[in-house]
Structure 1
Amino acid sequence: MLIRAQDSTLLLIDIQERLFPAIEDGPALAEHAGWLLQVAQRLDVPVLATEQYSKGLGPTIAALREQLDEPALIEKIHFSAARESELFQRPGGDRQQFVVCGTEAHVCVLQTVLDLLERGREVFVVAEAVGSRRTEDKALALERMRAAGASIVSREMVAFEWLERAGTELFREISREFIR
């Protein structure tokens, strides 16, 4: 199945200030998530972002938070964002496809992905835009998500599938600004 802009929502899970420094290769993860966020906004793909117990883990990192509208932010207490009914009530929450990135891959990302799949949603996990404190945990999480039915993808797979075709002005803009 292809990822379609009109059917999908970008979901950023718990990329938060206090946890972020402990995430392996966090700066790269933030760069990839920010890239996806900008491409999604250019293509009118809804973006939602969760924050796990922000009193303890802090808000979403500034580099991403600055690009988000306030209604996109969802405070959560469950590890799975899909256990929060608010996720499905926000603009984009009713879409069939979720493109997922965030932390930690083996906790909140994994549990969200499994719950979304259980709800019959199509889930695409962006490999370079998810992370954990330990490499082994991320690898096991990606393996488990794939086995459960999620598609593991790259950020460029997402962008090109959202674009669908070359030769348009929008394709030229995205290509020029984001794809090098």
Structure 2
Amino acid sequence: MLLARDKSQLLIVDVQQKLVGAISGKDKVVEACVRLVRAARLLDVPITISEQYPQGLGPTVDPIREAFANNGFVLDKVEFSCLKSEALRERLHELRRKGRPQVVVGGIEAHVCVLQTAIDLEAQGFEAFVVADAIGSRDKASAKRAVSRLLKSGADVVDSEMVLFEWLERAGTPEFKEIQALIK
């Protein structure tokens, strides 16, 4: 199944100041998350950002917050899966009721919060699309195991370019030029 921008929502999971420093390949993960957020804003795809215990782990990193520009929701949680948080679960389900069952997921850590969220999304009838270049863990092996498990759970594993071009559907539009600039 292909992604459609009018059926999608974007979820960025826990890319926070005190967590991101320990993530293997952190710069690429943050860059891919920023790319997704900017594209979602440009294409009117609703955005939700989760923050795991922000009092202790700090807010979402600045590059993502700047790309986000208060265009969506930032919600705190203490649960690992976003679907175990009442506020996040309600937000995601509300968007699904409005015709957006596809959830594009990026964030950290791949083998904990991202994995549990994507498995719960699939179990609750969403279509989870986990963006491989926009997720990370402290240990690369943990992220690799997470991807393997995600595939077995029914989640689709994609990359950020796949998401952007599926959302676009065609070249030759003003949006295409703006999205193309995000990739270069």
Quickly name the TM-score band, shorter chain normalised: over 0.9
Distance 2:5 2:114 in 1: 21
- Tell whether 2:115 aligns with 1:110: yes
- Structure 2, gaps ≥5 residues long: none
1:121-150 CA-to-partner distances (Å, cap 9, x unmatched) read 101111011000001100000000011101
Q: Tell me, what secondary structure is at the counterpart of 1:120?
A: coil
Provide the TM-score with structure 2 as the length reference.
0.92
The residue aligned with 2:169 is: 164
The residue aligned with 1:24 is: 24
Q: Which amino acid aligns with 2:51?
A: E
Q: Contact conserved, 2:107 with 2:135, CA < 8 A, in 1?
A: yes
The residue aligned with 1:143 is: 148
State the shift of 1:172 in Å: 2.8
Q: Tell me, what secondary structure is at the counterpart of 1:123?
A: strand
Q: Tell me, what secondary structure is at the counterpart of 1:161?
A: helix
State the shift of 1:70 in Å: 7.1
Q: Contact conserved, 1:36 with 1:155, CA < 8 A, in 2?
A: yes
Distance 1:163 1:88 in 2: 27
Distance 2:76 2:153 in 1: 26
Distance 1:166 1:70 in 2: 26
Q: Judge which range, 86-95 or 128-137, deviates more.
A: 86-95
State the shift of 1:173 in Å: 3.0
Q: Tell me, what secondary structure is at the counterpart of 1:45?
A: coil
Provide the TM-score with structure 1 as the length reference.
0.94
Distance 1:179 1:30 in 2: 14
RMSD of aligned residue pairs (Cα, Å): 1.5
Q: Tell me, what secondary structure is at the counterpart of 2:48?
A: strand
Q: Tell me, what secondary structure is at the counterpart of 1:74?
A: strand
Residue-pair matches, total:
179
The residue aligned with 1:83 is: 84
Distance 1:9 1:70 in 2: 13
Q: Tell me, what secondary structure is at the counterpart of 1:90?
A: helix
Query: Closer, same or farther in 2 for the Cα pair 1:93/1:85, shift >3 Å?
Result: farther
Query: Closer, same or farther in 2 for the Cα pair 1:8/1:81, shift >3 Å?
Result: same
State the shift of 1:76 in Å: 0.5
Q: Contact conserved, 1:87 with 1:93, CA < 8 A, in 2?
A: no
- Structure 1, gaps ≥5 residues long: none
